[in-house]
Amino acid sequence: MTPDTGTDTEKAADSGTDTGKPPGSGQAEDDDTTRGTVLVALLANVAIAIAKAVVGVITASPALLAEAAHSVADTLNEVFLLASVRFSRRKPDAQHPFGYGKERFFWALLAAVGIFVTGGCFSFYQGLHSWLSPESEGSGHFLITYVVLAVALVAEGTSLLRAVVQLRGRARTHGRTLLQEVSRSEDPTVRTVFAEDATAVLGVLLAAGGVLGHQLTGSSRWEAAAALAIALLLVLVAYGLGRSARDLLVGQAVDPRLQQEAYELLAEQEEIDTVAVLQTMRLGVDSALLAARVDLREGIDSEDVEEVSERIKRELRTRCPAFGEVFLDIVDADHHERVRARERKEEVDRAVEEQVAKDRSPRR
């Protein structure tokens, strides 16, 4: 195998970037925008969490208390996400030669756990307790409850709008729809904020519906049902975010189109006969690793192999700057390996075709 053994990072540093992007642009600017989005969400959640908790205790409203727990969970999660942006930009070192990019994925996973434990579990307990003991719940202070929910709706809506604006900007850059950007975004931080804010807006509407039902019927079970619905919503969102973060942490491959581009670049090299294996793994929001096993054509002198390998790696980093780490292994592929190589390439091509078909679906 002929890896750069640390030289990829050094070369990137010499060129002014550790990710293959020009300094002062790209991910650094995205991070500044992301910090602003998270800070807006954090400030909104701190204010409304306090308001919901105070009024919820005064009115004994299970729906409002469930929403207070929801806002507390979101507040803690914004702190996690701010930490993820900061820690993920640290430079590679001896203990972490591939950098700290996966910090984003780790803190996103903690945020998902926070939504489940702090928000979902407490809301479920509050809703179940209120459902089983309806006569002891609700003091009828509906006006102040509506005021708090209205303020919360405005604050959460403002934060959601900020996240949507950022995602739409990224979607235009990547040629995707908003929903496609949410599902495929390389940055779990923005996706998490969007999911939290969208869930918060829907949670406020559910709570308002429960309070209205309580006011009209005199039964606090309406609010209990709203609290249970909020709990279910939070659990589903937490599961989705947690599953995405898990996939990234355990080593997710890059976008199929980027894999296809790497395949095609290697196939263009006159010295390469077969790309036996091509494997990729995302190392962070803006960086990835590529490891390939290639069979060279006959007639290449052994003294030229190292030079050919280095040239191919340089071209890969130039054409596909997302690959900050490139490793090539020169092998002698047999018939079975060549067959498997064709099958892997066909799988990538099919994945790209499916992705293109989804991209051509009606935009939203």
pLDDT at 343: 92
pLDDT at 136: 47
pLDDT at 356: 81
CA distance 130 to 156: 26
pLDDT at 22: 42
Chain centroid to CA 44: 21
Please name which of 295, 277, 285, 287 lies closest in space to residue 333, comparing C-alpha atoms. Answer: 295
Instruction: Decide: 276 and 295 in contact? Cβ < 8 Å.
Output: yes
The DSSP annotation for 222-238 comes to: HHHHHHHHHHHHHHHHH
List of residues 6+ apart from 336 with CB closer than 8 A: none
CA distance 295 to 261: 18
CA distance 318 to 20: 8
CA distance 110 to 54: 27
List the chain pLDDT tens, one digit each, 364 residues.
444 444 443 333 333 334 334 433 455 666 777 777 788 778 878 888 888 888 888 888 888 888 888 888 888 888 888 888 888 888 888 888 888 989 989 988 988 888 888 888 888 988 898 888 875 444 457 888 899 999 889 888 888 888 888 888 888 887 778 887 887 777 788 788 888 889 989 999 999 999 999 889 888 889 899 999 999 999 999 998 899 889 889 888 998 999 999 999 998 888 898 999 999 999 988 889 999 999 988 878 777 888 888 999 999 989 988 898 999 998 888 889 899 999 999 999 999 998 888 777 655 4
pLDDT at 165: 86
pLDDT at 361: 64
CA distance 181 to 165: 12
- Residue at token pair 């390998």: 309
| pTM score of the predicted model | 0.75
pLDDT at 362: 55
